[in-house]
Amino acid sequence: MNKYGAEHLQDHRFTLECGEIERRGPWIDVRLNLLTEPGQMLPEDLSDPSVYVICNLEGTIVQYILLDEGCDSEFMFTPAEKEQIAAFIRQHCSASIKSLS
């Protein structure tokens, strides 16, 4: 989780919990709760991060959005963090996504 435009990207360790999954026209919105792992610090300007992922009806992720206090933020996920999120969705959310397609 780094600010857009940061020169040095830093991966953060976190765990995820399923939130809401809903269909919105040709998209499926997946909201995940983000919990920092013990000993990990959030970037200074993030206070209540969560994950908002947009998938197409086939379940392919088309966008990852890092929310803070429920709103779009000036932060982005690193490639490794995106892979962690994608793996979580494949493991824990794919059945719900398929049922909405």
Mean pLDDT of the chain: 93
Count CA atoms closer than 13 A to 39's CA, side-chain side: 1
Q: How far apart are CA 22 and CA 15, in angstroms?
A: 21
Mean pLDDT, range 68-80, rounded to an integer? 95
Mean pLDDT, range 85-101, rounded to an integer? 94
Structure tokens belonging to residue 83: 């892979």
Whether the per-residue pLDDT at 9 is higher than 90: the answer is no
pTM of the entire structure? 0.92
Distance of CA 86 to the CA centre of its chain: 8
Which residue reads 């059945």 in tokens?
95
User: Would you state the pLDDT for residue 43?
Assistant: 85
